[in-house]
Homo-oligomer: A and B are copies of this chain.
């Protein structure tokens, strides 16, 4: 039984809102691929949109431009070495970055691009083609058409208390350096 559940599309921005590093997965013409992206963000609530930077010299870019689809996966601390690896290697040189990194591809729902197993959440996106942004800034915009999360971590539109350090999202700095997300806290606007 899969360990993920659908996320209300109006709440799916919350999977990205705190700035985690993501894995971008894609597929086209019998190839699939996965890369890391520290540079992504929500772009709108409803319909939900996202922005992500995808370098020209990547197989992912070829697959995304050809298929018009991608998935943003929100990886967790035990996946950090694999995130670093798929952020360093290129699918233009490595036959299968999933196999090489140990990351596991699962079928997507509304898109052909795969999910990466063991993540906190998954945003399935249709590319909103913006040739100027793609060429000038390597900037890709997508509409989230389907979203999923591990309910132990994110349920009913809310992040759940982190009971296990292995369930912390990753926030990449540079080199081999990451932050793990810390604990949640609440504030209110002063009267």
Decide: B190 and A184 in contact? CB cutoff 8 A.
no
A126 interface hit (Cβ, 8 Å): no
Contacts of A44 in B (CB 8 A): 137-138
A184 (CB) vs chain B CBs: closest residue:
B179
The 4 closest A-B pairs by CB, nearest first: A19-B19, A182-B182, A18-B171, A180-B182
A17 (CB) vs chain B CBs: closest residue:
B38
- The bracket for how many chain A residues form the interface is 35 or more
Partner of A185, one of B51, B133, B178: B178
Given known contacts A43-B137, A137-B141, A180-B185, is B84 in contact with A173 (CB within 8 Å)?
A: no
Decide: A188 and B84 in contact? CB cutoff 8 A.
yes
Contacts of A51 in B (CB 8 A): 41, 51, 137, 139
Decide: A81 and B188 in contact? CB cutoff 8 A.
yes
Contacts of A139 in B (CB 8 A): 43, 51
A32 interface hit (Cβ, 8 Å): no
Partner of A179, one of B18, B41, B178, B190: B18
Given known contacts A53-B43, A173-B159, A181-B181, is B137 in contact with A187 (CB within 8 Å)?
A: no
